[in-house]
Amino acid sequence: MNVLIVEDERSLSHEMEIYLSRQNFNCDVAFNGRSASDKIHANSYDFVLLDLGLPDMDGMELLRESKKSGIESAFIVLTARGEVEDKIAGLDLGADDYISKPFSLAELHSRMQAILRRKHGLKSNVMRIHDFEIDIQNRTVHCNGQSINLTKKEFDLLHYLALHKNRVLTRIQLTEHIWGDVLEDDYESNYIDVHVKNLRKKLSAHGSVEWFETVRGVGYRVNA
Beta carbons within 8 Å of 192's beta carbon, 6+ residues apart: 157, 171, 174, 175, 178, 219
Contact between 199 and 157 (Cβ < 8 Å): yes
Residue with Cβ nearer other proteins (145 or 180): 180
Considering the rule CB under 8 A, would residue 218 count as an interface residue with other proteins? yes
Q: How far is the CB of 178 from other proteins (least distance, A)?
A: 11
Question: Binder to other proteins among 55, 70, 102, 145 (CB under 8 A)?
Answer: 102
**What's phi and psi for 147, nearest 5 deg?**
-80, 140
Considering the rule CB under 8 A, would residue 15 count as an interface residue with other proteins? yes
Question: Distance (Å, rounded) from C-alpha 222 to C-alpha 224?
Answer: 6
Tell me which DSSP letter residue 138 carries. Answer: T
Using DSSP bridges, classify how beta strands 2-6 and 74-79 pair: parallel, antiparallel or unpaired.
unpaired
Considering the rule CB under 8 A, would residue 144 count as an interface residue with other proteins? no
Residue with Cβ nearer other proteins (122 or 194): 194
Residue with Cβ nearer other proteins (22 or 118): 22
Q: How far is the CB of 51 from other proteins (least distance, A)?
A: 10
Considering the rule CB under 8 A, would residue 182 count as an interface residue with other proteins? yes
CA distances from 206 to 17, 132, 153 (A): 40, 9, 19
Considering the rule CB under 8 A, would residue 121 count as an interface residue with other proteins? no
Considering the rule CB under 8 A, would residue 128 count as an interface residue with other proteins? no
Question: Binder to other proteins among 42, 55, 149, 185 (CB under 8 A)?
Answer: 185
State the number of binding residues for other proteins (CB under 8 A). Answer: 47
- Per the DSSP assignment, residues forming a β-bridge with 76 are 49, 97
Question: Distance (Å, rounded) from C-alpha 189 to C-alpha 23?
Answer: 31
Considering the rule CB under 8 A, would residue 35 count as an interface residue with other proteins? no
Q: With H, G, I as helix, E, B as strand and everything else as coil, classify residue 63.
A: helix
Cα-to-chain-centroid distance, residue 158: 14
Q: Tell me the window of 35-43, 54-62, 135-143, 214-222 that interacts with other proteins (CB under 8 A).
A: 214-222
Residues that bind other proteins (CB under 8 A): 9, 11-12, 15-16, 18-19, 22, 80-85, 101-106, 151, 153, 167-168, 170-173, 176, 181-187, 189-191, 194-195, 198, 215-219
